[in-house]
Structure 1
């Protein structure tokens, strides 16, 4: 069984693992073209999402509320990511 410190470390390691996917793609393929700014923005989004989910895990006692809030946070992450990538809402931050 994992102790609380190991769970927290695992949760915060997940964004690093996810950021390794485009990094490897950037290295081995010409089709993936992420700049340092792209990695920075993705890192901020992923780590802030991780922080919020970890905060919810520790502060919210009722399991159903925890799940609902975490799903909401993940949906917001997906919408922001999609807006930055392709511009589904047409904001000034929209991607190409």
Structure 2
């Protein structure tokens, strides 16, 4: 039973990433305000997937609960900063 719950939690970040990428895809069907290209989806998918992989690999090495929470917070902050920088076009 515990193994099943653990496997479900390992799938959760990937489901969240899929939902986050589906939101602009659905929004593009209803409004012209959202205009993502294939490169936008690729960049967002790479950023979010990379962060999930880093956390999954690093989470195995971090044993303390609070250290794991701090690492997750730092990773979320880094992704948010990169996402915001990409949204205002600093890199382009």
Please report the TM-score for the alignment, with normalisation by the length of structure 2.
0.87
Gaps of 5+ in 2: none
Count of aligned positions = 90
Poorly superposed stretches of 4+, deviation over 6 Å: none
Greater helix percent: which structure? 2
Gaps of 5+ in 1: none
Tell me what 1:83 maps to.
Answer: 85
Deviation at 1:50, TM superposition (A): 1.3
The question of 1:33 aligning with 2:30 is answered: no
Q: Hey, what's the Cα distance between the residues in 2 that align with 1:41 and 1:9? A: 21
Q: For CA contacts below 8 A with separation 6 or more, give which structure has more relative contact order.
A: 2
